[in-house]
Structure 1
């Protein structure tokens, strides 16, 4: 039966045994991996490293990155990548909205 080292919000730790799923992917962490890294790695796939709440970086609502990919995301954002990509977004127009003026 696997055991987990749960990191509490007050800074304490607890040991919990049972099959709660994968352990956090950080080598020094024994907590439950309740999140998966959502960083895109190509071919419509994501990293999927299991992450505990302490190692999961929330890049957006319900989007979490592992520590390594969080670093890449922060560098991309700091270099203006988000703004640059958003400037290339083309607004969606449905066929109905383009035919309304006809």
Structure 2
């Protein structure tokens, strides 16, 4: 019986059927000294990014944190960041002094 966070309020849903897992996308600012905060909304998708041993990532995602990349294929924020094109990553390097 999982806990969810919907519109900022924590709720607990009981049910006889299998309920979806809460979204595990990190939200807010995390640092070494602060504990990570997770979305915890009801999940509607699983991440289809590459995972360990040739499987998919399968992190539960809500509609707000799932990025659709194809028909019934979604990526979590971590997998999306790993596979994002680095097109203009060095655009402003001339302005930054090392």
What is the TM-score with the length of structure 1 in the denominator? 0.56
- Select the structure that is richer in helix: 1
Alignment of 1:62-101 (within 5 A): 62-75=72-85, 78=87
What are structure 1's unaligned runs of at least 5 residues?
Answer: 80-102
68, 71, 75: which is aligned to 1:61? 71
What is the TM-score with the length of structure 2 in the denominator? 0.58
Structure 1 residue runs of 4 or more that deviate by more than 3 Å after TM superposition: 12-16
Q: RCO greater where, 1 or 2, for CA within 8 Å and sep 6 or more?
A: 2
- Aligned pair count reads 74
CA RMSD after TM alignment: 2.8
CA distance in 2, matches of 1:59, 1:3: 28
Larger Rg: 1
